[in-house]
């Protein structure tokens, strides 16, 4: 394997990881505030759908290169609206958070396809649109391997990497982050200190909708170009796995997302090798999932979920 | 009898009923926004299910795996675990039933072959789920992540086994399976709808669920672990063993669903392009049924009726069948967020109390 292939592999890895990075960052916001978010899959579906529809109409209106960004904005808005369903049920009405997250997945699967059929005369798929094009960073993109691999990516990939760092600082170095984590660890103590628990949780869940929405948008705007029933197919659940794998830490989740992206990308490249022909393809497909379990088994330390995760806050029980 | 009255006297059934009504209402509003006629759509839905013996039989066929995967998710839930892996366990069950049925088809007489295939499906489904239980008990690994991973591994493993050992020449599916769970004696009554013994197995499984969890010591321990593992441990219960056992039983239910589909409905196994989604329907059914076996049966009936009927809705009123997922999602939403339902009901309660005073 020469360096060109290595660079391409790195590049494909990042393409597949980007959506997972956004969605798992979203999951971190919600779960750090104490609200389980099984609904990431549905929120990504909302985002992917909104990006496809918004991008299509923006392109139709002649917005050219800006059209995909309109798609991203729509995805953010629809993601937030979708997450509000979860927030209202789980925070205000104290519903079981696993259940209301599942509701999001159901409503998203149903309503997005319903609307696609409504908007596009019964078709099960949105029309193909031009998504983002890759953006070479002057200078840096000339570095061997890394230049091709990292500095010649979609704008969404750059955004994802920047957000990982920003969110890490927001969570661990700002008062807002401290409050958010406090309501997820010990809500009654946070309440005593004057932090509005429910407000912080609403913010956490809405940020998760926003970020998962961008994650979904990334898939339509860089990979598929359309939205159909199988556009997301499990990516949201993989993002949940990445979040848990990364121990609810943005840097950890980033690593896990890249790991999953890499194992998705490697499928295309393993076939270049002669030895791979003797291995049934199914076993190559299995690699990421088996590897995840092996890594989890051998990793030291138990998973460190926020302590109040899944518990509705009831001030009278203090 | 008095217990039965107690169940129906409290509002434990009013909330789900109102939730169902509200769910249909949301569906109707969404249809009106889309410019469709909700009354025509809903009547087409029910006409599809109850209109002909064939469709009625097929609707029952549709409900069967829902009951079993619903029980699987509900059983794990009762023991404090979220089993997202019913999908993979169904696939492993299918594959076990296919391997046993096809490989031993010429060797064993059918009265031995069929039970053996069913048992293989149940045990393999149970062991597959048991992996997640074992990893949780021994290493503290979150079962959500392992069951998601195991779903994918099950998909690829099943495809590998079918493609390598069971393939029908030139097709993307296995040979025909000589083991059959079909209820052939009912075929003429239901106009050849694919009814099978899996439905009876599902009802038996629900009975087992109830008796085991509420009438045995082991079931009591399991519920205790589900409610509070720390307290259970303090009381001298072996939490880890209960976790593994609960996941095993949960997987057995899912494996049986796989056996029913392969041996009762299709009589062969396809190479799947993507996860078939049985497990995710199971999550919805378990939640709709409030994780109680009787509730799960009722929820599977509702879910099966709605999904099977949704095809009729699109023929009869041109409504996209995906609408039904909005209805189901809304019903689960209202059941989960009972506060909303009680808020809707509040004026009625108030009135009733007033009448009593008068």
Neighbours of B184 (CB within 10 A): 10
pLDDT-based confidence at A65, cuts 50/70/90? confident
Is the model's pLDDT at B341 over the cut of 90?
no
Per-residue model confidence (pLDDT) at position B351: 58
d(CA B292, CA B206): 9
Quickly tell me which residue has 């960073």 as its tokens.
Answer: A137
pLDDT-based confidence at A153, cuts 50/70/90? confident
Regarding predicted confidence, which is higher, B274 or B70? B70
Of all residues in chain B, the percent with pLDDT exceeding 70 is 94
d(CA A165, CA B19): 43
Per-residue model confidence (pLDDT) at position B126: 97
Per-residue model confidence (pLDDT) at position B352: 57
Point out the residue among A106, A289, A296 whose CB comes nearest to the CB of B329.
Answer: A106
Angle at A40 between CA B280 and CA B292, to 5 degrees: 35
With CB atoms and an 8 Å threshold, state whether B326 touches A100: no
d(CA A222, CA A22): 14
Residue B226: its chain A contacts at CB < 8 A?
Answer: none
Is the model's pLDDT at B8 over the cut of 60?
no
Is the model's pLDDT at B139 over the cut of 60?
yes
Residue B34: its chain A contacts at CB < 8 A?
Answer: 114, 118
Per-residue model confidence (pLDDT) at position B357: 47
Residue A113: its chain B contacts at CB < 8 A?
Answer: 320, 322
Chain centre to alpha carbon of residue A169: 19
Q: Which residue of B has its CA nearest to A104?
A: B329
Is the model's pLDDT at B180 over the cut of 80?
yes
Mean pLDDT of chain B: 88
d(CA A101, CA A80): 14
CA distances from B82 to A96, A232, B78, B287, B304 (A): 12, 22, 9, 11, 22
| CA terminus-to-terminus distance, chain B | 31
What is the pTM assigned to this prediction? 0.89
With CB atoms and an 8 Å threshold, state whether A113 touches B333: no
Residue B325: its chain A contacts at CB < 8 A?
Answer: 106-107, 109-111
Point out the residue among B287, B320, B340 whose CB comes nearest to the CB of A102.
Answer: B287
Closest CA to B256 of B86, B59, B61: B86
CA distances from A272 to A8, A280, A288, B90, B100 (A): 13, 14, 18, 34, 37
With CB atoms and an 8 Å threshold, state whether A85 touches B149: no
Point out the residue among B326, B328, B330 whose CB comes nearest to the CB of A114.
Answer: B326
Q: Which residue of B has its CA nearest to A117?
A: B320
Per-residue model confidence (pLDDT) at position B347: 76
B197-211: b (≥16 Cβ within 10 Å) or e: bbbebbeebbebbee
Per-residue model confidence (pLDDT) at position B9: 46
Residue B337: its chain A contacts at CB < 8 A?
Answer: 88-89, 93, 95, 100
pLDDT-based confidence at A134, cuts 50/70/90? confident
Per-residue model confidence (pLDDT) at position B1: 46
Lowest mean pLDDT among A16-20, A174-178, B121-125, B174-178: B174-178
Mutate to test the interface with B, among A24, A93, A267 (most CBs of B within 10 A): A93
ipTM score of complex? 0.87
Highest mean pLDDT: which range of A124-128, B92-96, B175-179: B92-96
With CB atoms and an 8 Å threshold, state whether A96 touches B275: no
With CB atoms and an 8 Å threshold, state whether B338 touches A93: yes
pLDDT-based confidence at B64, cuts 50/70/90? very high
Q: What is the pLDDT of residues A229-248, one digit of tens each?
A: 888 888 998 899 899 888 89
d(CA B276, CA B274): 6
Residue B160: its chain A contacts at CB < 8 A?
Answer: 280, 282-283
With CB atoms and an 8 Å threshold, state whether A289 touches B145: no
Strand partners for B167 = B174
Mutate to test the interface with B, among A38, A46, A86, A99 (most CBs of B within 10 A): A99
Per-residue model confidence (pLDDT) at position A82: 95
Tell me the nearest-neighbour CA distance from B308 into chain A, angstroms.
15
Q: Are A20 and A235 in contact (CB under 8 A)?
A: yes
Q: Which residue of A has its CA nearest to B281?
A: A106
Per-residue model confidence (pLDDT) at position B355: 52
With CB atoms and an 8 Å threshold, state whether A297 touches B139: yes
Q: Are A113 and A120 in contact (CB under 8 A)?
A: no
Q: What is the pLDDT of residues B252-288, one digit of tens each?
A: 999 999 999 999 989 889 898 888 888 889 999 998 8
d(CA A145, CA B253): 50
């Amino acid at each position: 394997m020469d360096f060109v292939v290595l660079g391409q592999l790195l590049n494909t890895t990042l393409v597949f990881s980007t959506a997972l990075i956004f969605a798992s960052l979203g999951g971190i916001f919600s779960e750090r505030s104490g609200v389980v978010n099984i609904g990431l899959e549905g929120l990504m579906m909302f985002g992917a759908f909104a990006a496809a529809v918004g991008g299509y109409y923006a392109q139709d209106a002649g917005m050219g290169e800006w059209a995909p960004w309109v798609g991203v904005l729509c995805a953010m808005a629809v993601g937030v609206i979708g997450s509000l369903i979860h927030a209202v049920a789980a925070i205000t009405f104290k519903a079981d958070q696993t259940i209301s997250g599942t509701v999001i997945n159901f409503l998203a699967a149903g309503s997005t396809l319903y609307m696609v059929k409504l908007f596009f005369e019964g078709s099960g798929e949105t029309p193909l649109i031009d998504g983002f094009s890759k953006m070479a960073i002057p200078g840096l993109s000339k570095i061997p391997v890394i230049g091709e691999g990292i500095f010649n990516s979609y704008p969404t990939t750059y955004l994802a990497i920047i957000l990982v760092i920003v969110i890490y600082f927001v969570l661990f170095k700002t008062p807002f982050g401290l409050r958010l984590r406090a309501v997820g660890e010990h809500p009654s103590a946070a309440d005593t200190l004057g932090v509005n628990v429910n407000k912080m949780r609403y913010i956490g869940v809405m940020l998760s909708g926003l970020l998962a929405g961008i994650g979904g948008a990334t898939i339509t705007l860089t990979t598929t170009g359309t939205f159909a029933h199988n556009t997301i197919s499990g990516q949201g659940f993989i993002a949940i796995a990445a979040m848990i794998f990364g121990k609810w830490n943005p840097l950890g989740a980033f690593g896990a997302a890249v790991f999953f992206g890499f194992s998705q990308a490697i499928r295309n490249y393993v076939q270049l090798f002669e030895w791979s022909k003797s291995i049934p393809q199914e076993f190559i497909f299995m690699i990421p999932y088996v590897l995840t379990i092996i890594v989890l088994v051998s990793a030291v330390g138990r998973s460190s979920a926020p302590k109040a995760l899944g518990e509705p806050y009831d001030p009278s029980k203090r | 009898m008095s217990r039965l009255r107690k169940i129906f006297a409290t509002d434990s059934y009013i909330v789900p009923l109102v939730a169902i009504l509200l769910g249909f209402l949301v569906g109707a509003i969404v249809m009106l926004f889309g410019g469709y006629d909700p009354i025509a759509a809903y009547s087409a839905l029910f006409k599809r299910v109850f209109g002909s013996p064939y469709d009625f039989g097929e609707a029952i066929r549709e409900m069967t795996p829902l009951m079993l995967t619903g029980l699987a998710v509900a059983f794990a839930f009762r023991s404090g675990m979220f089993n997202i892996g019913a999908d993979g366990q169904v696939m492993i069950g299918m594959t076990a039933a296919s391997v046993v049925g096809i490989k031993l088809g010429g060797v064993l007489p059918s009265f031995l072959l069929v039970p053996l295939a069913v048992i293989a499906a149940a045990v393999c489904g149970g062991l597959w789920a048991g992996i997640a239980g074992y990893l949780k008990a021994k290493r503290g690994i979150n079962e959500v992540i392992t069951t998601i991973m195991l779903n994918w591994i099950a998909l690829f493993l099943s495809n590998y086994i079918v493609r390598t050992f069971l393939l029908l020449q030139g097709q993307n599916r296995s040979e025909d399976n000589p083991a059959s769970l079909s209820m052939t004696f009912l075929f003429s009554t239901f106009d050849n709808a694919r009814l099978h013994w899996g439905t009876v197995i599902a009802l038996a499984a629900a009975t087992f669920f109830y008796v085991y969890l509420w009438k045995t010591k082991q079931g009591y321990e399991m519920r205790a672990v589900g409610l509070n593992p720390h307290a259970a441990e303090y009381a001298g219960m072996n939490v880890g063993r209960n976790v593994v056992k609960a996941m095993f039983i949960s997987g057995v239910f899912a494996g049986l669903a796989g056996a029913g589909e392969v041996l009762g409905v299709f009589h062969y196994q396809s190479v799947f392009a993507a996860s078939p989604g049985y497990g995710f329907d199971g999550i919805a059914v378990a939640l709709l049924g409030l994780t109680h076996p009787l509730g799960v049966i009722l929820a599977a009936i509702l879910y099966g009726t709605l999904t099977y009927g949704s095809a009729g809705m699109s023929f009869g009123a041109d409504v996209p069948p995906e609408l039904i997922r909005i209805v189901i999602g809304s019903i689960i939403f209202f059941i989960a967020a009972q506060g909303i339902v009680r808020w809707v009901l509040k004026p009625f309660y108030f009135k009733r109390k007033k009448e009593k005073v008068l």
